Structure 1
Amino acid sequence: MQKVLVTGAGGFIGSHLTEELVRQGFQVRAFVHYNSNNRWGWLDHTEEIVKKEIDVFPGDVRDPYGVKEAMKGYDTVLHLAALIAIPYSYHSPSTYVDTNIKGTLNVLQAARELGVQKIVHTSTSEVYGTARCVPIKEEHPLQGQSPYSATKIGADQLALSFYHSFQTPVAIIRPFNTYGPRQSARAVIPTIITQIAKGQNTIKLGALHPTRDFNYVKDTVAGFISVARSKEALGQVINIGSNYEISIKETTELIAEVMGTSVEIVSEEQRLRPEKSEVERLWADNSKAYELLNWKPNYAGREGLKKGLTETAQWIIGNLNSYKTSIYNI
């Protein structure tokens, strides 16, 4: 692994991953979503010493020709480009099919034709749906409880089909709920932090009882690089999670604690998922990642989560103008 292409490089996780790859000495091409203002997402905000080392390729993952052109000359592809917001997938599911499934097909087909040495495809813990048994192992049944998760299941299976059918060198990383600096307020942790930072004592959320396994972005990035480096990861699906389960209500209370305040929490109708679409419980079994990759989270357990929330809150407070705290972000 010497020359690495990252799709979705301008996004939350993608930008952190791109920066870390540069710092570790890799030659990195960042595939970002084309726009006429030539904005590179969060890569616009990275430090200049890192930014000057990145080869930025504007394009659209839905375009097979641009995808193949971007991949030429690169031996490893970390494929993160996707639509990820669950509420938006309820009213625009077709865009999720085009981006998440067809976009992944474009990456896989180009990799097959170009002889790429490794593709790391990004999955999500949402493909498991509500846990039938915990902690969740990679063999857990897949359940499409939202159009978003259904398209990610489709993309995952497509990636595995290329491995089995054509020996395309694919590995699948399945991060649980990643959080940290730069995450948008369509996710619950930034939603809570921004409301508190704006001085609101009543925090508006969706369902409070579901549990999640929150994984700090630095740990997720380390997981991506570990999967990319590992020959044993080929043909495998690997969970990247903290192995710590906490409810949304408890998470809110912990954030209030690290921000030195107390809050009232209300569940707002418009923020609720349809009843059968809500994923009630997520808790990662990360033993496979340790066995195959020697990966384990540095921000583990309650204290690790508290540390990650503190770092995230500090960053969001310093960048509060980037958030629209008065509206519900889907």
Structure 2
Amino acid sequence: MTLNGKKILVTGADGFIGSHLTEELVRQGCDVRAFVYYNSFNSWGWLDASPKDIRESLDVFSGDIRDPHGVKKAITGCDVVLHLAALIAIPYSYHSPDTYIDTNVKGTLNVVQAARELEIEKVVHTSTSEVYGTAKYVPINEEHPLQGQSPYSASKIGADQLAMSFYYAFHTPVSIIRPFNTYGPRQSARAVIPTIISQIASGKRKIKLGSVEPTRDFNYIKDTVSGFIAVAESERSIGEVINIGSNYEISIGETVQLIADVMRAEIEIETDPNRIRPEKSEVERLWADNRKAKSLLDWSPSYGGRDGFQRGLTETAAWFTDRENLKAYKADLYNI
């Protein structure tokens, strides 16, 4: 399937990954309906910062993924749905777990139910590497056991299973993309890389963090976006769960030092107890096996390995150090 000429709905288009994906689809000539979270300010989230020509080409739908009537209305007339709308912050899921079930599980039900009824050509549902929990073996392939170590990851496991059940039960053409830790311009400071960069960019040299021992497989936003498009276009991805990751493992502590080197800053790490997850909830190790993406989709990361990670961090730091961009962040506060 080629997406060019298709009407595509992107849920969560106002968010970090969603805005980048929406922009790239428009650049590739797609007809995009951007589902953004309704608010009285008429804000389109990060899409407000998109180039004027992209904003003017969008069909924007303001709604709430938890509302089945609005979701079905948004999907009506579309050929493909890329479902990214979700609550994603792990600490906030400790605080308000009910909202994660309503948004992530019920929201996904609303999407796949409407897609089934409207006979949509393709649904790409967004998962997360957090569903794997602490790695039992590495690299982590798609057969790895699922472990709900936080209310967030449990809600995403539920959403993934629900989406796939519609493929098995009703032949709804569902694919599940499972990105590992995406980073890049516009990411919320609830994630570790923007937390580090925004503090350094604000002039701080004592960087407040939680645990620095866990490892992650960081995936630059451009690679995640290309992964979404590859999954959406591939007929072979239907009924499949596919990891999108860099296949490079690095600790949080090493990541801090690499960022400091990129930003040419001498820093110290100060442990903030408020940022430390409960012991059994912390995911200690993530490392993506991306061979399935390579074989099924012919996808591979452009920012892989240490050199690729350093290039991605350089681009990310350059965006954050722009004062107009940095103004959107509160580096003094812990963002849950």
TM-score (normalizing by structure 1): 1.00
- SS in structure 1 opposite 2:235? coil
Deviation digits for residues 163-220 of structure 1 (CA, Å, limit 9, x no counterpart): 0000000000000000000001000000000111111111110000000000000000
Residue 327 of structure 1 pairs with residue 326 of structure 2: no
1:261: Cα distance to partner?
1.3
- SS in structure 2 opposite 1:265? strand
CA distance in 2, matches of 1:262, 1:282: 28
- SS in structure 2 opposite 1:215? strand
Q: 2:222: which partner in 1? A: 218
Q: 1:157 aligns with which of 158, 161, 165?
A: 161
CA distance in 1, matches of 2:32, 2:198: 33
Q: 1:36 aligns with which of 40, 47, 71?
A: 40
Q: 2:231: which partner in 1? A: 227
CA distance in 2, matches of 1:300, 1:51: 31
1:273: Cα distance to partner?
0.2
- SS in structure 2 opposite 1:29? strand
1:120: Cα distance to partner?
0.0
1:296 partner letter: S
Alignment of 1:30-69 (within 5 A): 30-69=34-73
Point out where structure 1 has 5 or more consecutive residues left out of the alignment.
none
Q: How many residues align?
A: 330
CA distance in 2, matches of 1:262, 1:254: 11
Deviating above 4 A after TM superposition, structure 1's stretches of 4 or more consecutive aligned residues are none
1:284 partner letter: A
Alignment of 1:105-120 (within 5 A): 105-120=109-124
Identity rate, percent: 71
CA distance in 1, matches of 2:30, 2:251: 38
2:173 partner letter: P
1:50: Cα distance to partner?
1.0
Q: 1:144: which partner in 2? A: 148
2:204 partner letter: Q
Deviation digits for residues 53-105 of structure 1 (CA, Å, limit 9, x no counterpart): 11000000000000000000101000000000000000100000000000000
Q: 1:252 aligns with which of 250, 256, 261?
A: 256
Alignment of 1:69-88 (within 5 A): 69-88=73-92
1:266: Cα distance to partner?
1.9
Alignment of 1:83-98 (within 5 A): 83-98=87-102
CA distance in 1, matches of 2:271, 2:308: 27
CA distance in 1, matches of 2:52, 2:227: 25
139-148 vs 1-10, greater mean Cα deviation: 1-10
2:327 partner letter: N
TM-score (normalizing by structure 2): 0.98
CA RMSD, 1 decimal: 0.5
CA distance in 2, matches of 1:211, 1:130: 10
Q: 1:207: which partner in 2? A: 211
Residue 264 of structure 1 pairs with residue 268 of structure 2: yes
2:326 partner letter: L
- SS in structure 2 opposite 1:28? strand
Deviation digits for residues 103-148 of structure 1 (CA, Å, limit 9, x no counterpart): 0000000000000000000000000000000000000000000000
CA distance in 2, matches of 1:198, 1:61: 35
1:322 partner letter: A
- SS in structure 2 opposite 1:121? strand
Alignment of 1:168-183 (within 5 A): 168-183=172-187
CA distance in 2, matches of 1:232, 1:281: 29
CA distance in 2, matches of 1:53, 1:240: 29
2:85 partner letter: A
1:48 partner letter: K
